[in-house]
Amino acid sequence: MAIKSTETQWGGMAKLLHWLMALAIIGNGIFGLIMVEMPRGMGKLNAFALHKSIGLTVLALLLLRISWRWFDRKPRDEPMPRWQSLAAHLTHGVLYLFMLALPLSGWIMNSLHGYPLQFFKLFNLPALAEKNEDLSELAETAHETLFWVLLLVVIAHAGAALVHHLFERDNTLLRMLPFARLRQRKSGDSP
Amino acid sequence: MKPVACLLSLLFLSSPLLAADYTMGKGSTLGFTGTFQGEAFKGRFGDFQAKISYDPADLASASFDVTVHLASANTGDTDRDESLPGSDFFNITKFPTAHFVTTRFREEGGKVIAEGTLDLKGVSKPVNLEVTFAPREGGATLDVSARLNRLDFGIGSGDFADTSTIGAEVTVNAHLELESKT
């Protein structure tokens, strides 16, 4: 598998970042919903610290991903109606926005609470806002709501990929899967 | 008769003829600095009393006696402040106060060090204070600071003993506005 993307297939780097971030974001979201229910204590403090460190990792991976996407070529769109292709690209744009907004809203919320922000016990990051308990409640709601809305967009994104795979029988899904072989295009489509 | 001798010496030491006695005035503060997840945080004890007897020219007769009501600790974070009175930290139902009393004063490199004993959460251990004393009209200001290891006194026990999350070293500092006893 080539590191860079080709005309028909996403490259190794794009696939790695796609699946790693999908796992990190959804996993950290579920983890976040569980950790808030934990009884107060060191276990909870450590769970929050881990959640924040994973969130910061997502943010760092996003920056890497945007840089890579800018540098890497993009595969051509699979043959599909124009509205589908527009909807797909719009969804991707929205997903990128959420990937940025989710960790950033967490960071801001943490700052408003006045909590330290430590990356895997290695180093600390500065606060993005002054401590403000009232606003922190608002940020908390925003942070959680963003996750639920992101989840809906992810379901739309994955659902569309599955529809293309199962009913259109094209390579939309396969070209993003780590070890899949592409389907042969119908005659006339292939270059 | 040892107890009697003790009592007599106490009376003798606390005599105003030997050292200047002070009461604690308004504007006096007692605070501490700890670290949590790599970041320093500050706390205050709103309720404490200090009996100070101090004359820079007569350190042999100086004495500090400080009582701190641990329930008055405030660090500006609700979760933390609700945890501090609990048995993992101060355990205030069993040990409501901390007490510090000096045993002797010495000079070291131009600084005055007050040696004493801190009684905190059922543990008595020696603690040294660095003393800065400045007389003023009608009284004096006294600044002291000490560094101690929270684990020596079992502050943050069980899971909370993990120093990679809650630092072991705590700095205690007090600023006292002293008024002369007359």
CATH at B119: 2.40.128.110
Q: Could you tell me the two tokens for B135?
A: 């007389």
* From A42, A116, A117, residue closest to B159, measured CB to CB: A42
- Tell whether B147 is covered by a domain: yes
Q: How far apart are CA A22 and CA A34, in angstroms?
A: 18
Asked if residue B155 belongs to a domain, the reply is yes
Place of tokens 């949590």: B36
Domains, chain A, ranges and CATH? 12-176 (1.20.950)
Q: How far apart are CA B155 and CA B26, in angstroms?
A: 29
B-contacting residues of A 114-133, CB under 8 Å? 114-118, 121, 123-124
Q: Which residue of B has its CA nearest to A112?
A: B77
Instruction: Give the SS3 label for residue A87.
Output: helix
Question: Which residue in the set A46, A114, A124 is minimally distant from B77, CB to CB?
Answer: A114
How far apart CA B19 and CA B12 sit, in angstroms, is 11
pLDDT at A87 over 90: yes
Is residue B95 included in any domain, yes or no? yes
How far is Cα B135 from Cα B138, in angstroms, rounded to an integer?
8
CA atoms B18, B20, B23, B28: torsion sign: negative
Distance CA B144, CA B148 (A): 13
Contact B56, B174 (CB under 8 A): no
Structural domain count, chain B: 1
Q: Of A56, A110, A118, which to mutate for an interface test with B (greatest number of B Cβ within 10 Å)?
A: A118
Strand partners, B136: B139
Assigned domain for B13 exists: no
Residue B167 corresponds to which tokens in the numbers above? 């630092």
Query: Quick one: DSSP state of residue A171?
Result: S
| Residue-level length of chain B | 182
**Does B8 map to a domain?**
no
- Suggest the residue from B35, B36, B39 to mutate for an interface test with chain A (most A CBs closer than 10 A): B39
| B175 domain residue, yes or no | yes
Taking residues B50-70, report their average pLDDT: 95
For a pLDDT cut of 70, what percent of chain A falls above it? 96
Half-sphere exposure at residue A128, Cβ-oriented, CA atoms within 13 angstroms: 12
Structure confidence at residue A188 as a pLDDT band (50, 70, 90) = very low
Question: In chain B, how many H helices and how many E strands?
Answer: 2, 11
Task: State the number of CA atoms in the 13 A half-sphere of A24 facing the CB.
Answer: 22
Residue B37: which of A40, A41, A118 has the nearest Cβ? A118
What average pLDDT does chain B have?
Answer: 91
In a domain, B2, yes or no: no
Query: Which structural domain range is residue B76 located in?
Result: 19-180
Residue B86 in contact with partner chain A when CB distance is under 8 A: no
B:24-83 residues touching chain A, CB 8 A cutoff: 36-39, 76-77, 79, 83
- Identify from B37, B83, B88, B165 which residue to disrupt to test chain A contact, counting A C-beta atoms within 10 A and taking the largest count: B37
Question: Which chain A residues are within 8 Å of B38, Cβ to Cβ?
Answer: 116, 118, 121, 123-124
Residue B146 within a domain = yes
What's the mean pLDDT in B102-130?
A: 96
Average pLDDT, integer, range A37-55: 96
The amino acid occupying position A157 is H
- SS3 assignment, position A151: helix
For A49, the closest chain B residue by CA position comes to B37
Which pair of structure tokens corresponds to residue B44? 């205050």
Please answer yes or no on whether A116 and B79 come within 8 Å at the CB atom.
no
Coil, strand, or helix at residue B132? strand
Compute the Cα dihedral for A129, A132, A133, A134 and give only its sign.
negative
Question: Is residue B76's pLDDT more than 70?
Answer: yes
pLDDT at B70: 97
Listed ranges A6-10, A180-184, B16-20, B62-66; the one with the highest mean pLDDT: B62-66
Q: Which residue has the tokens 């945007």?
A: A66
Return all residues near B83 (Cβ < 8 A) that are at least 6 apart. A40, B89
Chain pair A-B, CB pairs under 8 angstroms: 33
Least confident segment among A2-11, A44-53, A130-139 = A2-11
In chain A, the largest separation of any two C-alpha atoms, in whole Å, equals 64
Cross-chain residue pair B39–A41, CB shorter than 8 Å = no
**Which residue in A36, A42, A48, A52 has the most chain B C-beta atoms within 10 A of its own C-beta, making it the best mutation to test that interface?**
A42
Handedness of CA B83, A55, A129, B30 (dihedral sign): positive
Q: How far is B40 from chain A (nearest CA, A)?
A: 9
Nearest Cα to A58, choosing from A34, A12, A26, A25?
Answer: A25
Q: Does residue B119 contact residue B110 with C-beta atoms inside 8 Å?
A: no
- The two three-digit tokens of residue B86, written as one number: 């609990």
